[in-house]
Chains A and B, each alone.
Chain A
Amino acid sequence: MGIVKRIRSRYHYSLVLLRQMVITDFKLRYQGSVLGYVWSLLRPLFLFIILYFVFVKFMRIGAGMPHFPVYLLLGIVLWNFFAEITSNSIDSIVKQSDIIRKLNFPKYVIILATAVSALINLLLNSVVILIFMLINHVPFTMGILWTPLLVLEIFVFAMSLGFILSALFVRLRDINYIWEVFMQALFYATPIIYPLSMVTEKWPGVAKFLLLNPVAQAIQDIRYLAITPQTQIISQLVHHWYFTAIPFTVVAIMLVVAILLFKKRSPYFAEEV
């Protein structure tokens, strides 16, 4: 009991702050819009309609993949989750400079709040995805229960990058442009709008390499568990367990780097922002 109480009192301030920052973020997000929170549901809905027409009706990319529209939507939503955390994190410290210069508080809460906001957004989007899964008669399996862990993997990876990028951005304001370009490249290097099998057929080596990216690995695994076992996942393409462990190792290393860098830099944010 003593330990629990001590931990609670130590992180009490951080939790209070986190809660309030997330609430503020949501209040400001749909500020002045008539439909407000409904947009959180409408956005993925319209995205789905567009994807359906472009990829399924005209380009016919995912012809062999069952439930391809839902498969596509799930990938895009997960990618947006990753992109939202990283890109919103980059300038989040600098945006809060006003408070940082006048009050001492745990700065990691800023990044955590950004990430939690994105997570809530993802949960809202998941509702839409579930509805489409039902409409498309996607068979539900027990495997779907594992997906939260994979979402957590993306969450931790994105947040780690958020810590690193935001700390660097305080001193180096070019980071956001570099990251923007990098994210565009990474989007096409991740099997989101095309089935990975398209790559595997021609260059199996490249397909393996693409799956070393934790985001790609996690998205494919989630699709495998939630939509169709025809999704190609890392453990099918490679035959050594340690190869499968690489994406998780990347996440773990990023997390450690993020914690070390952020701990070292954050005491100086007040004089540098």
Chain B
Amino acid sequence: MKEAMENSTAPEPAIVVRNVSKNFILPHERARSVKQSFTGLLRKHRGNVETQKALQNISFDVKSGEFFGIVGRNGSGKSTLLKLLAEIYQPSKGDVTVRGKLVPFIELGVGFNPELTGRENVYLNCALLGFSAKEVKAMYKDIVDFAELERFMDQKLKNYSSGMQVRLAFSVAIMAEADILLVDEVLAVGDADFQRKCFEYFKSLKKRKKTVVFVTHDMGAVREYCDRAILVDRSKLVAEGSADDIAEQYLQLFMHEEEAGQAKAEPAKEGTRWGDRSIVIDSVKTSKKTLSVNDDHLEVTVTITAHKDMENPIAGFLVKDSADNQLFGTNTRIKKVRLGDMKAGQRLTITWTAPNIMADGRHFIDATIEHDDGISVCDWWTESASFMVHKTERTAYEITPPIDVRIERA
């Protein structure tokens, strides 16, 4: 529906990218002294030079007034692409055409000098963004008011706290009116209050129909702000489409990767273990390395071997999130299930099934085997396995169970 609407108006694209490739030449030892460059000249085939293909044959359009996302993992080439759009880099092949005044925010406070005062830095930063002293004078008060730094403007920047510096830089940035804004995700770092300001600013940009190119790997932000997006992976454009589609494909990309990785390597993080080892946990596995919204359940399979005869041991497990919050867990005594008496050498497999109520992110499993008394430990293995959960819904809470909402109007 959205597509059709845009086609009918067909605005002139703000940015046109055609068959763009970017190669970086990486000398293994940078020839920076005369001797090296002379020996380099003598050698016909420069064997010590490597070409890194940062981007290969990328084409896309950004329409005027569009909030456009560029997503990709670290090292995928998305930041290089942003720098090409900002004309900081030159494409090795192809063309980038930009219509209108473009202001890049690859970093806040570009050119800030700690030896200058806040006021002087505002003037310098604004000049870099293209504002004359006269224009800065007109908006100076707004900048200072927004940053809430009136009292500090005649102090040197080096005496500012890092929070104050970011506030000042951000105030300058949002005053910069341009047709096209390039925004790197690094903008949205900082404390919660600052992030809120950033996102409010994004909302206002969207409302004012500014053309914004936004680079991120936060799929929540993509779904919330972007009209369309592209997915860049391994220096190639993998997909182009609606924000929801691209966000979904991005998550899929991760899942495939994680599943492929599972075959090769067992849990990357070896947890701590203790106990008398009368019974030993051999392995802890989850049914899937990555759970998506569509997976209703988490299945944990624990294999144990008895090294001594043991009467009625107790097996348990615990799921934690990456912030070490203990989310849930149980054991066979609570569940009133008997493992029975075990003979030395005997093996058992215990399978736990729990609903997928976990929030987005990495989770860890602690597995335990205890004596009948529930006090002495046979084997207690923290972080014996880990798994990823991908959920599109984000809340401020530790768990994200499926919640329905219904509204009835009278």
Complex CA distance for A28 and B111, rounded to whole angstroms? 14
Q: Once the chains bind, are B89 and A98 in contact (CB under 8 Å)?
A: no
B184 to A: closest C-beta gap in Å: 9
In the complex with contacts A28-B116, A172-B33, A103-B88 CB distance below 8 A: yes
CB nearest to B134 among chain A residues: A16
B88 A101 Cβ-Cβ under 8 A:
yes
**With A20-B123, A174-B33 as contacts: A98 and B104 at CB distance below 8 Å:** no
Q: Which of A11-45 contact B (CB under 8 A)?
A: 12-13, 16-17, 19-21, 23-24, 27-28, 31
Interface residue A268 (Cβ < 8 Å from any Cβ of B) = yes
B76 interfacial contact with A, CB 8 Å: no
Looking at A103, A172, A268, the one whose CB has the most chain B CB atoms below 10 A away is: A103
With contact pairs A27-B120, A28-B115, A99-B111 given, residues A270 and B89 touching in the complex (Cβ less than 8 Å): yes
**Known contacts A27-B120, A103-B86, A270-B89; A171 and B127 CB within 8 A of each other:** no
Q: Which residue of B lies closest to A171 (CB)?
A: B32
Please list the residues of chain A having a beta carbon within 8 angstroms of any beta carbon in chain B: 12-13, 16-17, 19-21, 23-24, 27-28, 31, 98-105, 171-174, 178, 267-268, 270-271
The answer to whether B124 touches A24, judged by C-beta atoms less than 8 angstroms apart, is yes
Looking at the complex, which one of A16, A101, A104, A271 makes contact with B127 (CB distance below 8 Å)? A16
Task: Report yes or no: A16 in contact with B131, Cβ–Cβ below 8 A.
Answer: yes
8 CB-based A-B contacts, threshold 8 Å: A16-B131, A17-B128, A19-B133, A24-B116, A24-B124, A28-B115, A102-B106, A172-B37
Q: Of A13, A20, A102, A171, which contacts B133 at CB under 8 A? A: A20
In the complex, chain B residues whose CB is within 8 Å of the CB of A12: 130, 132
- B-side contacts of A103, CB under 8 Å: 86, 88, 104, 106, 110-111, 128
B177 at interface, CB cutoff 8 A:
no
Alpha-carbon gap, A90 to B87, bound state (A): 24
Tell me the minimal C-beta distance from B154 to chain A in angstroms. Answer: 13
Q: Are A268 and B90 in contact (CB under 8 A)?
A: yes
Residues of B within 8 A of A17 (CB): 127-128
B1 at the interface (CB under 8 A from A): no
Known A-B contacts: A173-B32, A267-B90. Give 18 more (CB < 8 A): A16-B127, A17-B127, A20-B123, A20-B133, A21-B127, A23-B123, A24-B113, A28-B116, A31-B115, A99-B110, A103-B86, A105-B128, A171-B32, A173-B33, A174-B34, A178-B34, A270-B83, A270-B89
A90 CB to closest chain B CB, in angstroms?
A: 14
Contact string against A for B residues 85-99, beta-carbon threshold 8 Å, 1 for contact and 0 otherwise: 011111000000000
**A104 near B86 (CB under 8 angstroms)?**
yes
In the assembly, what is the distance between CA of A17 and CA of B24, in Å?
29
Residue in A13, A20, A104 with the greatest tally of chain B CB atoms within 10 Å: A20
Q: Are B34 and A102 in contact (CB-based, < 8 A)?
A: no
> Are B128 and A99 touching (Cβ within 8 A)?
yes
| A-side contacts of B296, CB under 8 Å | none
Which residues of chain A have C-beta atoms less than 8 A from B124's C-beta? 20, 24
Judged by a CB distance under 8 angstroms, whether B107 is at the interface is yes
Q: Report chain A residues within 8 Å CB of B106.
A: 102-103
Given contacts A13-B130, A16-B131, A17-B128, contact A28 B113 (CB under 8 A): yes
Interface residues of B in 4-39 (CB under 8 A from A): 24, 31-34, 37
Q: For the complex, give the distance between the alpha carbons of A21 and B33 in Å.
A: 30
In the complex, are the beta carbons of A102 and B107 less than 8 A apart? yes
CA distance A99 to B87 in the complex (A): 13
Complex CA–CA separation, A20 to B133 (angstroms): 8
**How many Å lie between the Cα of A98 and that of B104 in the bound state?**
14
User: Which of B61-104 touch A at CB < 8 Å?
Assistant: 83, 86-90, 104
Distance of A180 Cα from B296 Cα, bound (Å):
72
> Is the Cβ of B110 less than 8 Å from the Cβ of A102?
yes
Separation of A265 and B98 alpha carbons in the complex (Å): 22
Contacts of A100 in B (CB 8 A): 88
Q: In the complex, what residue of chain A is closest to B30 when comparing beta carbons?
A: A171
List chain A residues, Cβ under 8 A from B90: 267-268
A268 to chain B, nearest CB (A): 7
Q: How far is the CA of A101 from the CA of B32 in the complex (A)?
A: 19
Complex-state Cα separation, A100 to B130, whole angstroms: 15
CB distance from B402 to the nearest CB of A (A): 43
Residue from the list A19, A20, A104, A173 in contact with B104, Cβ < 8 A: A104
Contact present for B113 and A16 (CB under 8 Å): no
Which among B24, B33, B131 is the interface contact of A271 at CB below 8 angstroms?
B24
Q: How far does the alpha carbon of A271 sit from the alpha carbon of B90 in the complex, in Å?
A: 9
- Which residues in B have their C-beta under 8 angstroms from that of A21? 127
| Residue in chain A with minimal CB distance to B24 | A271
Q: How far is the CB of A182 from chain B (nearest CB, A)?
A: 13
Cα A28 to Cα B124 with chains together (Å): 13
Bound CA span A109–B87, Å: 17
Chain B residues positioned under 8 Å from A31 (CB to CB): 115
Roughly how many angstroms separate A270 CA and B133 CA in the complex, as a whole number? 26
Bound: A79/B70 CA distance, A: 53
